[in-house]
């Protein structure tokens, strides 16, 4: 992997390197939220376990008593479940024993923490089983919650490695930074270094490929990177492309217009129209699209779009986008190009990823569906960085601060 940042770059938060963790009790927040079979409870994919294994293993190898806090899904979801399966998968991934306790701050959980030896690893119960966890409040307010009051006296250091959840002001992510020395884990550290440095020291030309269904997020990114001069070109795909086409005055068919309106994206159409006034030459939209005609893929020019749902960008657009991608020195991609779950409409996503993977530019892939598509098609090994957190990485690209990261920064002056 090519590295875009200087390894000695100054950072404004502490990392594991700043602490002697031997014989210390370290509370480690990770994000191992995984696809789970709702019937059997079996974890279907352990990618996030592997991701955090570096931090967990390093702490345990250095002699820390590693207490892991994590969540799985949220209340009301079918995969909202205990972490007993996660402990088993983590044990296999690390090739180390990971003990599990059915509690977060119960007497059993607190006793288990007190009885740990150096190098032990203990996974506490799903932190979202406790209702206070998911309330978005300030770090100061979160530091006064029951979880923090119960666990803080038992730990020496708090390490936050949950980059994927860093945009959330939840108790386990921000509360401990107010009361105990705190640091970023290796996943958090790597994500921030790569994303922030690639934005601040971007190599030109820089191309953003923005798609998927979360159009508001992508259009916020579009606005930020155009206004701050990061992006030379924005290639629009997915619902973002449909909104951009509509903003350009192109008839995309009544069903697609209604879909945009029903999603509440009228303001996003207005936003793109405003951006066109200054950046129209930099915002690229498809010259053809693939519509779903009775279950079949039909590629049509954007000046002849029938009243059918648009499910992908067209083959001519793919060719044009690939040419632009291959001229770039930096490429950011977020969101699939179409309904990639259907093989007929996966062509745009596949070919865009292939163009990025075979380009000479430094490539960063957002989390979520685009990352899953990259891994499923074997492109992950050819990308420079695949982010572990879609929401968190998008927030950074949109110019927002991450509350959990800000909490880590603030903790430097408190401990």
The reply to whether 71 sits in an annotated binding site is: yes
Burial-class residue 84 by CB neighbours within 10 Å (0-12, 13-18, 19+).
Answer: middle
- Cβ neighbours of residue 336 closer than 8 Å, sequence gap 6 or more: 211, 212, 237, 238, 348, 349, 369, 370, 373
CB 338 within 8 A of CB 238: yes
Work out the number of other CB atoms within 10 angstroms of the CB of residue 390. 23
The reply to whether 167 sits in an annotated binding site is: no
The reply to whether 128 sits in an annotated binding site is: yes
The reply to whether 399 sits in an annotated binding site is: no
The reply to whether 314 sits in an annotated binding site is: no
- Quick one: CA dihedral 375, 395, 46, 40, positive or negative? negative
The reply to whether 31 sits in an annotated binding site is: yes
CB 75 within 8 A of CB 128: yes
Burial-class residue 262 by CB neighbours within 10 Å (0-12, 13-18, 19+).
Answer: exposed
The reply to whether 348 sits in an annotated binding site is: no
The reply to whether 33 sits in an annotated binding site is: yes
The reply to whether 369 sits in an annotated binding site is: yes
Work out the number of other CB atoms within 10 angstroms of the CB of residue 67. 24
The reply to whether 168 sits in an annotated binding site is: yes
The reply to whether 54 sits in an annotated binding site is: no
The reply to whether 262 sits in an annotated binding site is: no
Distance CA 157, CA 152 (A): 9
Q: What is the distance in angstroms between the CA of the first residue and the CA of the last residue of the chain? A: 35
The reply to whether 335 sits in an annotated binding site is: no
The reply to whether 73 sits in an annotated binding site is: yes
The reply to whether 113 sits in an annotated binding site is: no
DSSP string, 105-131: SSHHHHHHHHT--TT-EEEPP-GGGSG
In DSSP terms, 289 is beta-bridged to 300, 313
| Binding-site residue ranges for (2R)-3-phosphoglycerate | 48, 128, 168
| Binding-site residue ranges for ATP | 341, 367-370
| Binding-site residue ranges for substrate | 31-33, 48, 71-74, 128, 168
| Binding-site residue ranges | 31-33, 48, 71-74, 128, 168, 341, 367-370
């Amino acid at each position: 992997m090519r590295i875009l940042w200087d390894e000695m770059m100054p950072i404004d938060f502490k990392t594991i390197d700043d602490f002697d963790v031997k014989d210390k009790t370290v509370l480690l927040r990770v994000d191992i939220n995984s696809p789970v079979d709702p019937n059997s409870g079996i974890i279907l994919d352990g990618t996030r376990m592997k991701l955090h294994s570096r931090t967990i293993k390093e702490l345990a190898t250095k002699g820390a008593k590693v207490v892991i806090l994590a969540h799985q899904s949220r209340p009301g979801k079918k995969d909202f479940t205990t972490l007993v399966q996660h402990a088993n998968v983590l044990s296999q991934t690390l090739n180390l024993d990971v003990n599990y306790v059915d509690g977060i701050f119960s007497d059993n959980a607190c006793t288990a923490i007190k009885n740990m030896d150096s190098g032990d690893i203990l996974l506490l119960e799903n932190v979202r089983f406790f209702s206070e966890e998911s309330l978005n409040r300030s770090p100061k307010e979160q530091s006064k919650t029951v979880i923090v009051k119960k666990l803080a006296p038992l730990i020496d250091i708090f390490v936050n490695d949950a980059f994927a959840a860093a945009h959330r002001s939840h108790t386990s992510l921000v509360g401990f930074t107010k009361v105990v020395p705190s640091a970023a884990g290796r996943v958090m550290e790597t994500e921030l270094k790569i994303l922030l440095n690639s934005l601040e020291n971007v190599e030109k030309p820089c191309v953003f490929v923005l798609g998927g269904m979360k159009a508001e997020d992508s259009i916020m990114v579009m606005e930020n990177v155009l206004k701050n001069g990061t992006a030379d070109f924005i290639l629009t795909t997915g619902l973002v492309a449909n909104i951009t086409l509509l903003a350009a005055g192109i008839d995309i068919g009544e069903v697609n217009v209604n879909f945009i309106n029903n999603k509440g994206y009228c303001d996003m159409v207005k936003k793109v129209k405003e951006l066109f006034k200054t950046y129209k030459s930099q915002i690229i939209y498809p010259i053809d699209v693939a519509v779903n005609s009775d279950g079949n893929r039909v590629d049509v020019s954007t000046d002849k779009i029938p009243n059918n749902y648009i499910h992908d960008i067209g083959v001519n657009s793919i060719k044009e986008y690939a040419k632009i991608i291959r001229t770039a020195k930096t490429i950011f991609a977020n969101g699939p190009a179409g309904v990639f779950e259907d093989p007929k409409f996966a062509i745009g996503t596949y070919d865009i990823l292939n163009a990025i993977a075979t380009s000479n530019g430094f490539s960063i892939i957002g989390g979520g569906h685009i990352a899953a598509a990259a891994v499923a098609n074997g492109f992950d090994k050819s990308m420079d960085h695949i982010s572990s957190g879609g929401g968190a990485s998008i927030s950074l690209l949109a110019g927002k601060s991450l509350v959990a990261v800000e909490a880590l920064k603030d903790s430097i002056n408190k401990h």
